[in-house]
Structure 1
Amino acid sequence: LHHIINNIFFLSTFQKQSSINLLLNMAFYIQKFSSYTHTDVMVDLDEAHKNRDDEAESSSRRRANVSTASSSVSLSNGRMLRASTSNEENDSDSGTLKSRRRTHSGSKVEDHILRWNGKVFYTAGRPPWYDNSGYQLREPFIIGICGGSASGKTTVANRIIEALDIQWVTLLSMDSFYKVLTPEQHQAALNNKHDFDHPDAFDFDLLYRTLIRLKEGKRVEVPVYNFSTHSREKMNKTMYGASVLIFEGILAFHRKDILDMMNLKVFVDTDADIRLARRLSRDILERGRDVEGVLEQYNNFVKPAFDSFIAPCMRYADVIIPRGGENHVGIDLIVFHVKTCLHDLTVKNRAQLAMGALNGRNGNGLQAKPPPSLHVLKQTPQIRGLHSLIRNKNAPRSEFIFYSNRLMRLLIEHALSLLPFSDCNVECPSGLIYAGKRRKARLICGVSILRAGETMETALREVLKDCIISKILIQTNPDSMEPELYYLTLPKEISSYHILLMDATVATGAAAMMAIRILLDHDVPEENITLLALLMAETGVQSVAYAFPKVRLVTTAVDKQLSPNYHIIPGIGNFGDRYFGTELQPCSDKLEYDCASDG
């Protein structure tokens, strides 16, 4: 197909064909090519090679007289480089025609990967999107990209993501918000009689609600539109807020309330012939349409809609990008501006929490009383004896695991006793009635904060054999010392569950606050969350309780101090390393901060 299109450009250069005839010829060959078998393709490609070489040799004298300025194509390694026929996802340096990758809005874990020019960008490693009060959220930087159909909006968005080189980005496409068609409209769409470029074709109310929730950092369910069947798929895509939210669509600037949410507005301005060529190749190859239908739809709906609704939006743009993804200078300017704005929005929650800025200290600098949401196991000789065994630096790993698991089971049993119960009567074998209690919470989900929180899963299964287990991976950035979200897997209807959030230790509370914030973004009521930890520091207790007063905090002990590296003192060492056997060396008799507990 690449060589066929190049032949069309080659002939058109010297035969002076008009632009529209060139596009029609290209569309004819694309449609013809799409129905060939593999053998037919190889034969036609060989013939195309031969014909082009023969034509090149016979017209070499003519080519020598053609000036560079008048030529609309250039040669690279004996091949013609395309200009107006490259579709929206082509790399102009590759010299090959690729299928256009549709922008499927979504953020399931497997969909949170963007591969671009050999690089992989993970939508993970998300830094805190809230301050240390837990509720004053840091709003994402929203970039709106508008432009005509097949103008290169997705390419510009991907170039921006590549140049930003940040890991947590959400790309939302307006294509996901086409309205559900009536039977009459669906039949008209199959006959290319339905206008998909008019504002009435989009569900702007749903789009607005989705952007609002993403701006608040909450989870959303985004529909997936199938352009071949002109209908929405049954399964939606799950998306989350991000540090940067890129929203692209042909009418991205049409509605004022959506326009006002954007921090940066970009308009992609591409020549009409190039857009038509891209649309022809895309609709014929990917959507199974014919040339006449595509051109009829373009003349009746696409071009009038561009002139009436899309082109006037150019006046709202902060930046106009001619030539789309090929305009590297314009993209670099956008990236520089976005990086500057993101730097100004950086938060340092962990340092502020450790300093006690908002952890409940009074005006005299004295520690406040334990919050009412804190529940500590009664310090019986048994509990203190178990702590003596696991805090001992010389404890063998097998004993450390055994006694830690015993303590975890006691912790989980105590946490379950704090859930709501109702009265019930049961008949005993003796025939008498026993007035007992039954737990109201039927749906319970254990969420472990990896990696140390995973150690509590076995104890939870021993107590609740049918409990659902989910995971959240939060790691500390070694440069900023801030927690960052890398991975999560949660039940779809998690908002109806009582959550047992598990971590081995809580020091500053930064990781626990991020995990709680994630659950709240999934619409889990705050009073349905219970945070469990074998050991907590007073600073972490006050920080979490101040930010989320309705969250229950359950632990077996509370230590008073933190090291300068935000580790619990005296603590129990690095719990994950000791449990999994990955510690480098045992702690010395002195207070080795590097070996202290994480949290």
Structure 2
Amino acid sequence: KTLYGANVIIFEGIMAFADKELLKLLDLKIFVDTDSDIRLVRRLRRDISERGRDIEGVIKQYNKFVKPAFDQYIQPTMRLADIVVPRGSGNTVAIELIVQHVHSQLEEVRAARLAALASAHQCHPLPQTLSVLKSTPQVRGMHTIIRNKETSRDEFIFYSKRLMRLLIEHALSLLPFQSCTVQTPQGQDYEGRTYSGKQITGVSILRAGETMEPALRAVCKDVRIGTILIQTNCNTGEPELHYLRLPKDISEDHVILMDCTVSTGAAAMMAVRVLLDHDVPEDKIFLLSLLMAEMGVHSVAYAFPRVKIITTAVDKKVNDLFRIIPGIGEYLGRNGTR
């Protein structure tokens, strides 16, 4: 089973340290040691009460096979451990120290990652996979309206929906088309173009991305829609996957991934990762957003260089809370759906 958004992954087993390649992946190696007498008592209790065996047979098997195998194969791996915990789960002090260490390491990694995100895009040109809707006077005017804090809720919804419609139309123009010939009602041939892909599937990142679905349905007949719920953990600041519903057989589709705003790109990158794990080719994923920050654009483009990124505007900064500056505020709050 694929895990998304896991901050700590625990891998356990008596032969956990046997594979050298696996050892390289482990950040912290713990050997839980228990006295040999206690191990024997546990085996006696289990085999006699649960398996109906006699004491003599259990002890004979233990001395002949179990203990020699432990001494030869398991005990030597203790030297590979970073921490040896005696008395197992009863050693609450050791367990508490390990938990504190893991928390401190996660905080250090998070701080380093956020600092890297904030500085990585500086002085770099925007990636070639980015396509920004042409800033015509009309588009600029609609941005002025939705960015204005004095704009009423009705106007904000109306003009943001208009921008979404234009954004979807712009994204569809980037899909692959091939030449075709049709016959007009007058019996004349017309050299035209037709979509050369299998079909188009929309996937919204809940909850804000859901507001872009009507614009997609308005221009794509019988489009299939999937949803992904990704929320940021308030304690760790990391995205976590909570819900996933995708249409069947999307591996050959062009997938339009929708989110209203992209600041750091963390949620968008997790959503792309989910699509890739469902066999959607990277170059068939279109990430659409009403507004993006440069940090988010660079993060997504660096992680997935073949994903097409499409937006109506790119703002340069994010604040300490990783909100886009100047931005449009909290989208769900302004359109009244939160």
Assess same fold via TM > 0.5: yes
User: Does residue 278 of the first structure (1) align with residue 46 of the second (2)?
Assistant: yes
Q: Which residue of 2 aligns with 1:359?
A: 121
Match for 2:290: what amino acid?
Answer: L
Within the candidate set 276, 280, 286, 1:530 is matched to 286
- The correspondence for 2:312, drawn from 543, 548, 556, is 556
Q: For each residue in 1:198-230, what CA deviation from the matched residue of structure 2 results, as whole angstroms up to 9, or x when unmatched? A: xxxxxxxxxxxxxxxxxxxxxxx4xxxxxxxxx
Name the structure 2 match of 1:420.
Answer: 176
User: Would the alpha carbon gap of residues 239 and 538 (structure 1) be closer, same or farther in structure 2, given more than 3 Å must change?
Assistant: closer
Output the CA distance in 1 between the equivalents of 2:145 and 2:271: 30
Is residue 30–residue 85 contact of structure 2 (8 Å, CA) maintained in 1?
no
- CA distance change for structure 1 residues 581 and 358 in 2, over 3 Å: closer, same or farther? same
Per-residue deviation, 1:361: 0.5
| Corresponding position of 1:29 | none
1:471 is matched with: 228
Structure 1 distance, partners of 2:227, 2:103, is 34
User: Residue in 2 aligned with 1:441?
Assistant: 197
Does the CA-based 8 Å contact 2:142-2:159 persist in structure 1? yes
Q: Distance in 2 between matches of 1:260 and 1:349?
A: 21
CA deviations on 1:273-309 (whole Å, 9 max, x unpaired) are 323323555xx5xxxxx636x9999689887653354
Q: Secondary structure at the match of 2:44?
A: helix
Q: Does 1:324 align with 2:324?
A: no
Residue 275 and residue 259 in structure 1: after superposition, are their counterparts in 2 closer, same or farther (change >3 A)? farther
1:77-129 superposed Cα distances (whole Å, 9 cap, x missing partner): xxxxxxxxxxxxxxxxxxxxxxxxxxxxxxxxxxxxxxxxxxxxxxxxxxxxx
CA distance in 2, matches of 1:298, 1:521: 47
CA distance, structure 2, for counterparts of residue 350 and residue 395 of structure 1: 33
- Please say if residues 360 and 542 of structure 1, whose CA atoms lie closer than 8 Å, have aligned partners that are also in contact: no
Q: SS state of the match for residue 346, structure 1?
A: helix
Q: Aligned AA for 1:358?
A: A
Per the TM alignment, residue 411 of structure 1 is displaced from its structure 2 partner at its CA by 1.0
| Distance in 2 of aligned mates of 1:385 and 1:490 | 36
- Residue 459 of structure 1, aligned match among 215, 235, 252: 215
- C-alpha change, 1:347 and 1:530, in structure 2 (3 Å) is farther
Task: Say whether the 8 Å CA contact 1:445–1:497 is kept in structure 2.
Answer: yes
The answer to whether structure 1 residue 315 and structure 2 residue 76 are counterparts is yes
Q: Does 1:243 align with 2:16?
A: no
Tell me if structure 2 keeps the 8 A contact 1:360–1:543. no
1: CA distance between counterparts of 2:337 and 2:56?
Answer: 68
Percent identity for Structure 1 against Structure 2: 47
Aligned twin of 1:79: none
The question of 1:411 aligning with 2:176 is answered no
- Of 257, 264, 267, the match for 1:501: 257
Question: SS of the counterpart of 2:12?
Answer: strand
Pair 372,487 (structure 1): closer, same or farther in 2 beyond 3 Å: same
Secondary structure at the counterpart of residue 110 of structure 2: coil
| Distance of 2:244 and 2:64 partners within structure 1 | 45
> In structure 2, the residue corresponding to 1:247 is in which secondary structure?
coil
| 1-structure distance, mates of 2:134, 2:149 | 24
Q: Which amino acid aligns with 1:472?
A: L
**Equivalences for 1:90-105 in 2 at 5 Å?**
none
Compute the displacement of 1:578 (Å). 0.7
Bigger mean CA deviation after superposition, 332-341 or 415-424: 332-341
Q: C-alpha separation between the residues in 2 aligned to 1:299 and 1:426?
A: 85
Pairwise CA distance, 1:316: 0.9
Asked if residue 265 in structure 1 is aligned to residue 30 in structure 2, the reply is: yes
Q: Which amino acid aligns with 2:32?
A: F
Runs of 4+ in 1 over 6 A off after TM superposition: 294-303
**Which residue identity lines up with residue 52 of structure 2 in the other structure?**
V
- Alignment coverage as a number of residue pairs: 328
Q: State the Cα deviation string for residues 328-347 of structure 1 (Å, max 9, x = none).
A: 23433433444454444334
Structure 1 residues 412 and 276: CA distance shift in structure 2, 3 A: farther
Offset, 1:379:
2.8
Contact 2:5 2:238 in 1 (8 A): no
In the alignment, is the contact (CA less than 8 A) between 1:483 and 1:514 conserved in 2?
no
The 1:320/1:511 distance shift into structure 2, 3 A limit, reads closer
8 Å contact from structure 1 (residues 500, 530) kept in 2: yes
Aligned residues of 1:530 and 1:552 also touching (Cα < 8 A): yes
Tell me the amino acid that sits aligned with residue 470 of structure 1: T
Q: 1:560 to 1:332 in 2, by over 3 A?
A: closer
Cα pair 1:447 1:472 within 8 Å, conserved? no
TM-score (norm 2): 0.77
Relative to structure 1, the CA distance from residue 336 to residue 570 in structure 2 (aligned partners, 3 Å threshold; closer, same or farther) is closer
Q: Is the Cα contact below 8 Å between 1:457 and 1:469 reproduced in 2?
A: no
CA drift at 1:445: 3.7
Q: Deviations over 1:437-487 (max 9, x none)?
A: 33333254433333322221232233333323121323274x77x443252
Aligned to 1:271, what secondary structure does the other structure show? Answer: helix
**Structure 2: how far apart are the matches of 1:394 and 1:384?**
17
RMSD of aligned Cα (Å)? 3.7
- Tell me which residue corresponds to 1:487: 242
Distance 1:461 1:278, change over 3 A: farther
Q: CA deviation at 1:547?
A: 4.5
- 1:561-595 CA distance string (max 9 Å, x none): 5455543344323222111255xxxxxxxxxxxxx
User: Are the equivalent residues in 2 in contact too, given 1:349–1:510 (CA < 8 A)?
Assistant: no
Q: CA deviation at 1:560?
A: 4.4
What code does the residue aligned with 1:245 have? I
Q: Which structure exhibits the higher relative contact order, with contacts defined as CA atoms closer than 8 Å and separated by 6 or more residues? A: 2
Give SS of 1:545's match: helix
Distance 1:427 1:297 in 2: 88
Q: Is the 8 A contact 1:251 1:309 kept in 2?
A: no
Take 2:227 and 2:47, find their aligned partners in 1: how far apart are those partners?
44
Q: Where do 5+ consecutive residues of structure 1 fail to align?
A: 1-220, 222-237, 285-289, 363-367, 583-599
Change in 2 beyond 3 A, CA 1:344/1:433: same
CA 1:452–1:280: 2 relative to 1, 3 Å: farther
